[in-house]
Chain A
Amino acid sequence: MAPAPPPGHFHILYFAAAAQHTGKSLEPLPAPLPLRDLFDELERRYSGIRASVLDHSLVTVNLEYVDIQADEEAPEGERVVIQEGDEVAVIPPVSSG
């Protein structure tokens, strides 16, 4: 398992092309963060990452898939908020073999 994030933060894991784009495999980000703001936050830090990585990647929170599209359309009270200590992962598809 990844080390625990510092207080007030969650950990985000970057796999494959996401790791390549950010130059890291893991970093702490300030929590709480509404899920639907995650991509904006990452785009602010890594210009261009939305189009080249995030738009076709899947996202998990605490090892479970979250549907970002559905979350954006969900009513206010049902939206996912990433909490302190959570582990978020960005997983782009890999195609080769």
Chain B
Amino acid sequence: MEGDTREAIQDKSNVASSRPKNGVPNGSDRRLTDEEFERYSRQMIVPGMGKHGQLRLINSSVLIIGAGGLGCPAAQYIAGAGIGTIGIVDGDVVEPSNLHRQVAHATSRIGMAKVDSLITHLRSLNPLPTYIAHPFHLTAQNGADILSRYDLILDCTDNPATRYLISDLCVLLQKPLVSAASVQTSGQLIVLNCPPSPQGVVDRPCAPCYRCCFRKPPPPSANLSCGEAGIMGPVVGMMGVAQAGEAIKILASALHLPQDARGASGASGASDAERHLTHPHLLIYSYDLASAIGPYTFRALRMGGRKRSCFACGEGSTLTLEGIRSGNPDYVQFCGGLAPPPHAGLAPEERVTAAAYDAARRKQELPPHVLLDIREREHFSLGSIEGAVNVPFGKLLMKAAEIQRDGGEAEDVLPREARGSGKDAPIYVVCRRGIDSQETVAKLKELGLDHGGTRKIVDIVGGMKAWKDEVDPRFPFL
């Protein structure tokens, strides 16, 4: 048995590209080792799996891009199921704030590369697969080379630019993509580009790519990251586990192979499955106790197929691997760039640094004023500048829109505690990082709260982040 196992590992350590392609019943006559037989017994007896399905998994390779909240749970089940080759891409290191959701890492591995930490965990779970570490971020330059070595791709990343890059590469390399995303209390999951069809083919039903579903990225200002907006562990965990489920299902039934390569006979019963996949379902999970729809809701929404006009996979697409490698399209630019967001064009006298505001306060040079903190209530509850009153930015904008549309007292956008502080009491606005506060100053002026210029409305530059950096290093900033 020992010998068999070692042989099996060696067999699988061949580079992925020279492995026999999964799907054809290659090795279906191979004996499973005793260890494999015992380890995979409970899934092999599930109807439809069998030894045949298990061998397909063992002969398959999966690339997991992102070793975070999605990648950790996904990788655990991918490894557990015995996928033969598992590659993991991530350039980050484990941080304490990851651990509430990235459950394959460990307190003892804080500071370690996430890829190494995750592989450590996966090896202890299942030593049989071959694990390949890609300890850096996926880029337009390295992407094609890495993705081309695997049968199926899991998008477990955390930003729109990388999502579009991955989808485009999957189109060009004809790889199926299991994509999931999650923030705060919402999750999404969809199987894309599966089974893969050549770019530009539109004369038969083909599966959509990410761009067919989401043509344009959100503006950077509307794009919430887990670091800024927060994330509940079970929500992202659920989506990661579901990603693994989809991947295993696809590989065990050989649906990841291009339609043409599978031949006319194909895998048995594939045609129904294919019909589902050319119009895949977007699974939405919302976990919101206050929601009118219900506290926990799954919804499966049927998407369209490949779009004739799609930039990446549609008719006459000009997207190429060489283009991507040389920076065309520019994904960062497409997703709003790294440039600072447009500011509201405030005059210098409408802005004050956190340090200068603090100094003026200490010297009691400031008249009685309103200090308006527009962070979310949860951030405000963790700590605020003494005397600050809170109204979340989104609420303030909604109230402002209501007043502008239906009429009403402009003063009502301010929280009740702030309304009695004198007609011309200056308003200082602070937010998390100093962006929303500029927009708020402009909005308050637009509403006429500056009383034609007699009342000062001032932005605290850099927000509470600057307050922590310049004034109070112990401030609990999140």
Residues of A participating in the B interface, judged by any CB pair closer than 8 Å: 2-3, 13, 15-17, 19-21, 23-26, 46-48, 51-53, 55-56, 58, 60, 63-65, 67, 69, 89, 91-97
25 A-B pairs in the complex with CB atoms less than 8 angstroms apart: A2-B292, A2-B294, A13-B293, A15-B286, A16-B183, A16-B186, A21-B394, A46-B398, A46-B401, A47-B404, A47-B405, A53-B218, A56-B219, A67-B304, A67-B307, A92-B222, A93-B188, A94-B188, A94-B224, A95-B225, A96-B181, A96-B183, A97-B68, A97-B236, A97-B239
A86 to B59, CA, bound (A): 46
The answer to whether B301 has its CB under 8 Å from any CB of chain A is yes
**Leading 7 A-B pairs by shortest Cβ distance:** A97-B70, A94-B181, A26-B292, A96-B183, A56-B216, A47-B401, A25-B291
Residues on A with C-beta less than 8 A from B215 are 56, 69
Residue with the highest number of chain A CB atoms closer than 10 Å, among B182, B218, B307: B218
Residues on A with C-beta less than 8 A from B294 are 2
Known: A26-B292, A63-B299, A63-B301. 10 other contacts (CB 8 A): A3-B292, A21-B394, A25-B292, A46-B401, A56-B219, A65-B282, A65-B301, A91-B301, A95-B158, A97-B239
The residue on B at minimum CB distance from A22 is B398
| A97 with B157, Cβ < 8 A, contacts A48-B401, A56-B214, A60-B301 known | yes
Please state if B217 and A93 are interface contacts (CB–CB under 8 Å). Answer: yes
Residues on B with C-beta less than 8 A from A94 are 181-183, 186-188, 224
Residues on A with C-beta less than 8 A from B301 are 60, 63-65, 89, 91
Residues on A with C-beta less than 8 A from B307 are 67
A13 to B398, CA, bound (A): 18
Please state if A89 and B226 are interface contacts (CB–CB under 8 Å). Answer: no
Please state if B395 and A23 are interface contacts (CB–CB under 8 Å). Answer: yes
The residue on A at minimum CB distance from B394 is A20
Residues on A with C-beta less than 8 A from B344 are none
The interface bits of chain B over 144-164 (1 if a CB of A lies within 8 angstroms of the residue's CB, else 0) are 000000000000111110010
The answer to whether B303 has its CB under 8 Å from any CB of chain A is yes
The residue on A at minimum CB distance from B188 is A94
A25 to B394, CA, bound (A): 15
The answer to whether B302 has its CB under 8 Å from any CB of chain A is yes
| A97 with B213, Cβ < 8 A, contacts A47-B401, A51-B219 known | no
The answer to whether B180 has its CB under 8 Å from any CB of chain A is yes
Which of B223, B284, B394 contacts A95 (CB under 8 A)? B223
Please state if B299 and A89 are interface contacts (CB–CB under 8 Å). Answer: yes
Residues on A with C-beta less than 8 A from B159 are 95-96
A58 to B463, CA, bound (A): 33
The answer to whether B254 has its CB under 8 Å from any CB of chain A is no
Residues on A with C-beta less than 8 A from B472 are none
Please state if B229 and A96 are interface contacts (CB–CB under 8 Å). Answer: yes
A2 to B188, CA, bound (A): 19
Which of B156, B222, B300, B405 contacts A97 (CB under 8 A)? B156
